Amino acid sequence: MSEHENQPANQGGQQQNEQHPNEADWQHQTLEKLVFSALKEQRRARHWGIFFKSLTFAYLFVLLFYALDWIGGGAGAVTDHTALIDFQGEIGSNAEITADSAIASLQSAYDNKHTKGIILRINSPGGSPVQAGIINDEIRRQRKLHPNIPVYAVVEDICASGGYYIAVAADKIYVDKASIVGSIGVLMDGFGFTGTMQKLGVERRLLTAGENKAILDPFSPVNPKHQEFAQQMLDQIHQQFIAVVREGRGNRLKETPEIFSGLFWSGETSIEMGLADGLGSSEYVAREIIKQDNIVDFTTHEGLADRFAKRFGASMTNTLIGSNIHLH
């Protein structure tokens, strides 16, 4: 083959060699773009991840604040309002309504200078005479300290026994015509297992120091002396309840032989008997009586864990003691 015939082939080889660097640069640039794109995508994903985690944390933080009642309560109200305090459920040191929470709510409502009136919204079947008595005393004490701030009890479904014990501390009581009101009485409940133990052949072996230490023991026969003692105590507490009702209602109360017997009546009948003053809801009382329809809730709410602990403690106490005194 001649020299001229080999020349084009050599030139073609040179051209191919010249293209290789360009192709390598293109691959390198493409790889760089892919790497930078991947890094950018990772950064974007990380930023969104941080954003959503922060959002979730903020949401949980707000829920925690609400659960602990640090925000959303009425203490920070800065405009004129009617203060609302809820009494929902049973009354007792380990129940839904406690003297501690009620007193905290009352103090918070009274301490706010924009409070023009207070509504005690009650829906309770009763409970502990001690807790109800402490709440009653605090309401009357605060009324004397703040004579210009009226207090009204508003009954929803039921205001019986201990619930009514609280209500009579208010200036006036408003009910729905179908509300249940009254049950001014005291009871002590428990169980006796002596018959069951005899059938099962179980022998009760009880040792005491003090002849009355085993009073009302559910596994022993009823002792007439102990029964008489317990009845005297119930009668005494009943008279205390009656005195509180008479003091709270005054001349409005139309006494009959049955009014303190433990019976209960509809809201409509309770007005006729002087147990209540009129018909009205919380909104009605705020709007028409207090003349301030801006209602702010000052109720102190317990956390779920505290509520469970109290419930558990109450059930354990009831099991161990066996008998309980209730305003029911």
Is residue 122 within a helix (H) or strand (E), and if so which, with residue range?
Answer: strand 115-124
CA distance 101 to 193: 37
CA distance 164 to 143: 18
Which of the following is catalytic: 101, 108, 128, 161? 161
249-256 LR contacts (CB < 8 Å, sep 24+)? 249/168, 249/274, 249/275, 252/277
Which of the following is catalytic: 33, 213, 225, 291? 213
Tokens linked to 241: 């309840």
Going by their DSSP bridges, the two strands 172-175 and 151-160 should be labelled as: parallel
Catalytic residue flag (residue 116): no
CA distance 33 to 28: 9
Distance of CA 131 to CAs 43, 94, 164, 166, 244, Å? 60, 10, 13, 9, 14
Catalytic residue flag (residue 270): no
What sign does the CA torsion over 45, 46, 48, 49 have? positive
Report the 10 Å Cβ neighbour count for 190. 13
Tokens linked to 258: 């049955």
Residue positions annotated with a catalytic role:
161, 213
